Amino acid sequence: MSTHRQRMEACLAGKTTDRPPVALWRHFPVDDQRPEKLAAATLQWQKTYDWDFVKVTPASSFCVRDWGAEDEWRGDSEGTRAYTKRVVFSLEDWAQLSVLETDSPQLAAQLKCLALLRGELGPDIPLIQTVFSPLSQAKNLAGGADLLAHLRMRPEWVGRGLEIILESTRRFIRAARAAGLIDGIFYAVQHAQAHLLTKDEFIEFGRSYDLQVLESARMLWLNVLHAHGENIYFNHLADYPTHVLNWHDRDTPPSLAEALPRTRTVVCGGLRRETMVYGSAEEVRAEALDAIQQTGGQRLVLGTGCVVPVIAPHGNLLAARMSVEK
């Protein structure tokens, strides 16, 4: 297998590969405020570690700033930014949102970043764009507590906002796909957690919208579902029409071995983020070996359950990358 694309395609097809694919991704704070700088930082990350696919990680605000949200960098170890201005305060505000066109400043900037990356990476290194679920975007517009309160007080009002967010998201995906900029999306679901929503609430306000978003990405060949957090509704995610399923497998059930018979997708995980930051290279390699043994090296992309913290040492990142070579 001479290219990363060939390795990923074989893995998705359930074929034996020369080695398990491996990919890690991280935020690039400050650099993520300009498309040229985010592209340059992402390219350097790939040049240094040679991952099997490149996941583009803009600030989560890239998809909500054109509605007026604001955020700032405060030094979080994950590389995420803190929201300083919300957009939705009252129930009526949900209906005031308007569908974003792809020439809106922030969405256009992200498409420019993708074009720069595609031009440098070429066709043999898969490129996927982070896309946040409508519920996740709604959380960033209103704040987590207010979103949940609004959902339970007047769900039909929030539903109006989710429809607008849905259409804006679908248009962005279609634009990136039509321009040939991406091989797939990294679809981030943050509310499939029992301590946030009941199962029925997630099905109504999460899953139903997620499936409509993913329909826009159906023609792409490398779509990754990321289920964020703990105590996730795994069985209601396992049949999503994506190619790879990523979750915090070291921190919340199921394990990689338990998940394989419960989904037809490739699983992505095996490395604990805390190990990547605080552990030794030997501990990183041990977790990688355990992940390979759990899965028999089949239908596995070695990775972490979420973004690698920006403080993870180079030696541990290198250990993760090299662990699949032996």
- Rounded mean pLDDT of 220-229? 98
Domains of the chain, each with CATH number or no CATH = 4-322 (3.20.20.210)
Q: What is Dmax (Cα atoms) for the chain?
A: 58
pLDDT in tens, 165-210: 999 999 999 999 999 999 999 999 999 999 999 999 999 999 999 9
The residue-averaged pLDDT of 3-13 equals 98
Query: Average pLDDT, stretch 5-19?
Result: 97
Residue 179: what pLDDT? 98
Q: Would you state the pLDDT for residue 89?
A: 97
Mean of the pLDDT values across residues 224-250?
A: 98
φ and ψ at residue 266, rounded to 5 degrees: -75, 145
Computed over its alpha carbons, how large is the radius of gyration of the chain? 19
pLDDT at 25: 98
User: In this structure, is the dihedral angle defined by the CA atoms of residues 297, 301, 306 and 309, taken in order, positive or negative?
Assistant: positive
Q: State what percent of residues in the chain have pLDDT above 90.
A: 99
- Residue-wise pLDDT for 80-102, tens only, equals 999 999 999 999 999 999 999 99
Token pair recorded at residue 57: 């990680």
Give the tens place of pLDDT for each residue, 258-315. Answer: 999 999 999 999 999 999 999 999 999 999 999 999 999 999 999 999 999 999 999 9
1 has a pLDDT exceeding 80: no
Q: How confident is the model at residue 238 (pLDDT cuts 50, 70, 90)?
A: very high
Averaged pLDDT score across all residues of the chain: 98
What's the pLDDT score for residue 326?
73
The bridge status of strand 127-132 relative to strand 244-247 is: unpaired
Q: Would you list the DSSP string of 233-287?
A: -GGGTTTSS-SEEEE-TTTSSPPHHHHGGG-SSEEEEEE-HHHHHHS-HHHHHHH
| 99 vs 115: CA distance, rounded Å | 23
- Average pLDDT (53-76) is 98
